[in-house]
Amino acid sequence: MSNDINNNSNWIDALKHKTEQATRPVPQGTWEAISNKLPSEHPVAYKQQPRLRPMWWKAMAAAAAIAIAATTGFIFIQEEENLSQPSQLTKKVEKRPMIASATPADSLAADSTRATATPPKPALAPGAALAKNNTPSAPKATTTAAPKPSTTSKGSKPTNAAPATTGRDSYDNGNLAQEQQFDPDEYFYDIETMQALEELYADYDNVMNQEAMEPWKTYSDTTYQQHLAYDANARKVAREKMALSKKKKHPSVLLAAHGTGLISSDHNSTVNSSSASMMLPKPSQGMMMAPAAPGTTSNVAPPVNYKYHHHMPLTAGITFNKRITRNLYGSLGLNFTSMSSDVTPDNGAEPFKQNINLIGLPFGVKWNFWKYRGLTTFIGAEGLMEKVVWAKFNGESVTIKRLQWSIHATAGIQYNFTQHLGIYLAPKLSHYITTMPLSTLRSEHPLNFNLQLGLSLDF
């Protein structure tokens, strides 16, 4: 400024002196208008450190890349594992032990009547025993009529050389495709026949389970026990198919499922292993049936209880916060959660793993209610929509199409090192609304409390 200001005359100096002290009332609402227009919560402090500015973009890009790479990589690794391994069914067949003895009737019954994968019949097979006792409960079951070629050959196959194993394996290897193409119209019985068959299978399962409880009686290894767990899954598939056909075609004659499947929210989940709701070929297709064996019961076998040990879920994700007003942020993100559990059947079978992986879309709001220097306290509410990308129970894939919904409330404290980067600590209360058909930590504790520690990138 020039010194010509000194040229002001006296009255100008007096006027200047007066105006320097002048004030005018500020219209109401001016501050609110200003504070709402402020573009950034930390508008200034960190711009004094320009050398750090490029790091924000690098940090954000690195975080996003790591999150995406980790998620994608994890999914691919799991899928590769699935592809590289032979199917569980094949493994089961290969591991199936030889059965000491079985009659042709055993094989017939096993091959023809078991539409789902079942364990090999032991020496005390229901078919053999039942054949000796002609009770009137299953009159149609004893007929043999002109069958379809495939069924006929299966039903009449001599099985003495390698009785049960041959029959079961031939079924497993050759007829699973037919099982997948199950047509309820071809498996229509009257109610009496179905009841007879149900008793037959109940007896069969009873024997199987008794032997499973005392494996040393029949087998020297644990393969048989593994079949039981596997069988539960296979039966579940059959039950679902039966239920479907029941709805569509023959609601009065098709048997319903006994088992509860794998759905349970208890720590010890129960699977009823004595389902009789199998896909049943018509007698005219070559099935040979026999009534209930004397000395055996028709009661369902004791259920198998599973004990779960849930590991801590691992979640990786990235969330972006967008300022809505001065202290209110909207957030949107992407995360990946992996949950694993050790499952131990109480029937002596070997423990196995349960893995569930989900991709989630968190969305919510965060309100900063107090700030001092770089320190901010906040509360927030969040919704989370998750999709199960894959899930496995004992090596078997489980399809869960239902979206998993949850709500979360959080209150935390954040310290910003810079304008955009901060570290936060936030206790979080979560409620998982949607239940999954597999037992998880979430299903056992739908309402849980956790502590989050993380980095925050705010822009």
Partner 1 sequence: MMSEREICHGCKRGIASAQRELFDRYSPALMAVIYRYVGSDDDASDVMQDTFLKIYTTIHSFVWEGDGSLRAWITRIAVNQSLNFLRRKKRLKATTVPVEALGETTSDSDNDHLAEQVDNIDVSTIMQMVAELPDGYRTVFNLYCLDGYSHQEIAAQLGISEKTSASQLTRAKALLARKIDSYINNKA
Tokens, residue 336: 């990946």
For 99, half-sphere exposure in the C-beta direction (CA atoms, 13 angstrom radius) is 29
Nearer to partner 1, 216 or 372 (CB): 372
Nearer to partner 1, 395 or 422 (CB): 422
Binding site for partner 1 (CB under 8 A): 1-2, 4-5, 8-16, 18-27, 30-31, 33-35, 37-45, 47-48, 326-327, 371-374
Q: What is the C-alpha separation between 353 and 311, in angstroms, rounded? A: 11
Is-contact 241 182, C-beta < 8 A? yes
Tokens, residue 396: 């078997």
Smallest distance, partner 1 to C-beta of residue 409, A: 24
Q: What is the C-alpha separation between 265 and 392, in angstroms, rounded? A: 17
Nearer to partner 1, 103 or 418 (CB): 418
Smallest distance, partner 1 to C-beta of residue 353, A: 49
Q: What is the C-alpha separation between 143 and 291, in angstroms, rounded? A: 12
DSSP 256: P
Nearer to partner 1, 48 or 84 (CB): 48
Nearer to partner 1, 36 or 181 (CB): 36
Smallest distance, partner 1 to C-beta of residue 455, A: 19
Smallest distance, partner 1 to C-beta of residue 56, A: 16
Which of 346, 89, 395, 94 lies closest to 225 in space, CA to CA? 346
Nearer to partner 1, 45 or 244 (CB): 45
For 362, half-sphere exposure in the C-beta direction (CA atoms, 13 angstrom radius) is 24
Smallest distance, partner 1 to C-beta of residue 21, A: 7
DSSP 378: E
Smallest distance, partner 1 to C-beta of residue 394, A: 55
Q: What is the C-alpha separation between 125 and 103, in angstroms, rounded? A: 9
